[in-house]
Amino acid sequence: MQIRYPGIDRLLRILQGADRVERAGRPEPAQRPGGVAAGDKVTISSEGRELQALWQRLMEGPDIREEKVTELRKAIQEGRYRVPAEEIAARMLEGWGDKP
């Protein structure tokens, strides 16, 4: 069973790409006329705003899907819950040979 949240794949791609960002040297602070340093300014890209909105939606959602938990508990109590061992093993081995 796969659980998918809308946009989670994009969020993961963005977060995984964050480790590839190279940090440039810190620029000198902008100077105002008269030699006074200007204040810092932050600009958030549209992708950043979208990521922030997605993160907020994820945090607002329930941590546990109660209806799914209830359904699984009932299946276990009634003896209908079966763990597909072969499927789990196959998925665990997927891509195993791809790694160096």
Tell whether 100 is covered by a domain: yes
pLDDT-derived band at 96 (thresholds 50, 70, 90) equals: confident
Q: Which two tokens stand for residue 61?
A: 């959602």
Tell whether 93 is covered by a domain: yes
Tell whether 42 is covered by a domain: no
> Angle of helix 46-60 relative to helix 8-17, nearest 10 degrees?
120
Q: Is the pLDDT at 67 greater than 80, yes or no?
A: yes
Q: Residue 56 sits in which domain range?
A: 47-100
72 C-beta neighbours (distance < 10 Å), count: 13
Tell whether 16 is covered by a domain: no
Tell whether 83 is covered by a domain: yes
Tell whether 21 is covered by a domain: no
pTM of the predicted model as reported, rounded to 2 decimal places:
0.33
Tell whether 19 is covered by a domain: no
Number of domains in the chain: 1
Q: Is the pLDDT at 22 greater than 60, yes or no?
A: no
Give the chain as a DSSP string: -----TTHHHHHHHHHHGGGPPPPPPPPPPB-TTSPBPPP-----HHHHHHHHHHHHHHHS-SS-HHHHHHHHHHHHTT-----HHHHHHHHHTTGGG--
